[in-house]
Amino acid sequence: MARQHPEEPTLAEVKIEEVKAMGKQGLAHPSTKPVLTGGAIGAVVGAVLPVVSWPVGLLAGAAIALYSRVKR
């Protein structure tokens, strides 16, 4: 799949840069707290649902929160 505008980063590239920035800045980064909150909510939901375990819920919740932070 060819990108139409080569100067614009892909969504995956933006997510990777956001995660790197969160790793460097820690809790000072504006996306860290919402992503951690999403992960915690996902872990609780994963623990309650019999089909999904809490680690899967944690990853899914954090991924959804990260996606909602970087999409534009």
The band of 72, judged by pLDDT with boundaries at 50, 70 and 90, is low
Q: What's the pLDDT tens digit per position in 28-52? A: 999 999 999 999 999 999 999 888 8
Spell out where the chain has E strands: none
The band of 64, judged by pLDDT with boundaries at 50, 70 and 90, is very high
- pTM for the full predicted model: 0.78
Distance CA 30, CA 65 (A): 12
State the pLDDT at residue 46: 92
The answer to whether 21 touches 29, Cβ cutoff 8 Å, is yes
Distance CA 39, CA 17 (A): 19
State the pLDDT at residue 12: 87
